[in-house]
Amino acid sequence: MSKLLTGGVKGHLVKLTLPSIGGMLAIMVFNLTDTWFVSRLGTDQLAAMGFTFAVVMIVGALAIGFSTGAASIISRALGAGNRNLAARTVSDGLFLTIAGTVIIGVSGYLAIDPLFSLLGAEGRVLTLVHEYMQIWFCGAVAAVLPPVCDGCLRAAGDMVRPLIVMCTCAVMNIILDPILIFGWGPVPAMGMRGAALATVFARVCGMAASLGFLHYKHRLISWSRPRIREMLQSWREIVRLGIPAALTQVLNPVAQGFYIRLAAGVGGVQAVAAMATGTRIEAFLMILAISYGIALVPFVGHNFGAGAHERVDEARRASNRFALIYSAAIFLILLPTAGIFSGWFSKDPTVVRLSTTYLLIAVLGHSGLHLSIWMGQLMNVIGRPGPVMVIGFARVFGFVMPLCLIGSHLFGFVGLVSGIALGNLLSGGLAWSLARRVLKN
């Protein structure tokens, strides 16, 4: 029987959340390491790295989709004591991930120049992008498989080993980046190619570790040959549950691009810089919230699969309270410190002032943003992806974008940020209502 089926709900959620905080920090270190070392090469190289982010993020959304869909089925199966279904789903999910990533990798490799020319890269920057993405697409499976494997491990209630995998990737990247980018001893300087190789090698280490944990520790990889009909049915279920998570991941940069465009119109370059600064600080503030959302997956899945629906509803109510408490605490912390944090990223007084304004207003909508994410994950885990799609699209296109447009037109930068906060609050209210209704049914 799963350990998550007995004991205090809040205690389990705390224990499941803490390791994920370290994992989120490791991911940030991984990404910042690449950017920092590449920035030492020059402005063109840093610009080329910027162009790669959009494509890498979209492929990453694929990994999140596969991971979310598989984790939903695995966690419920383990809660119900059906280990065979869990192992079959892990194997089918990994095979689907590999097949899908190979198709994307080959297609991307053949279309690097036209794809990134469409995004605006040209001249020497396009050549540098080609150098990086040529290697990245070849190693796309290694880049995508670790987060999918980690999602399967978390679905089994194991939050520590994904932390080990992510820390391993981060440390390997820190070691390999300077060696392969700038050269060391017999290793020649490879510039952008070196950055891509460091990323792929680090991910290969993470892939090997996570596959090892799944097989040797949890025995959750089935090596038996699946029936074609059963495998296709498994794939359909994984994709059905994974699409909302993948789309949500893709919608976030779409919304951010919209904010930036509006900010440029109401405040010029300084407003754009303030938005970039504010969202960067905001990302650190969201680490605990993201980690808590990850913790909900195994707890809700195991208990729902075991028929302990009252414990799932208790987790929902605890999440509602935590969203309010956490957002209020962050607001109180930012009141005296938002200007200080903003000053770390810019010395321009206007940028600091606007960034401080962004943080203090945006955080007022964080409780709604947390609820949108957490309730979406909760409903996905219990096999109800439809309401998750409603929440995601309503938040971006129904609430946030229209309110930002109206707010920026009436009140400039303050109105723009107020639109973001109010839109997040409204989507949180919708998520609260839908989750409550779904669990009652």
- pLDDT tens column, 47-89: 888 788 778 877 888 888 888 889 999 999 999 999 888 998 9
Dist. CA 91–CA 97, nearest whole Å: 10
pLDDT classification of 282: cutoffs 50, 70, 90: confident
Whether 407 shows a pLDDT value over 90: the answer reads yes
Whether 404 shows a pLDDT value over 70: the answer reads yes
pLDDT classification of 324: cutoffs 50, 70, 90: very high
Of 422, 369, 340, the C-alpha closest to 252 is 369
Predicted confidence at residue 278, as pLDDT, reads: 84
Place of tokens 């009252």: 310
Whether 245 shows a pLDDT value over 90: the answer reads no
The region of weakest confidence among 115-119, 208-212, 314-318 is 115-119
Dist. CA 295–CA 154, nearest whole Å: 8
pLDDT classification of 403: cutoffs 50, 70, 90: very high
Place of tokens 């190789």: 197
Which letter does DSSP use for residue 213 in this model? I
The region of weakest confidence among 24-33, 147-156, 179-188 is 24-33
Dist. CA 313–CA 421, nearest whole Å: 27
pLDDT classification of 1: cutoffs 50, 70, 90: low
Query: pLDDT > 90: what percent of the chain?
Result: 54
Task: Let me know: does 195 contact 32? Beta carbons within 8 Å.
Answer: no
Q: pTM, whole model, 2 decimals? A: 0.87
The region of weakest confidence among 113-117, 356-360, 412-416 is 113-117
- pLDDT tens column, 132-145: 999 999 999 988 88
Tokens of 335: 């009141």
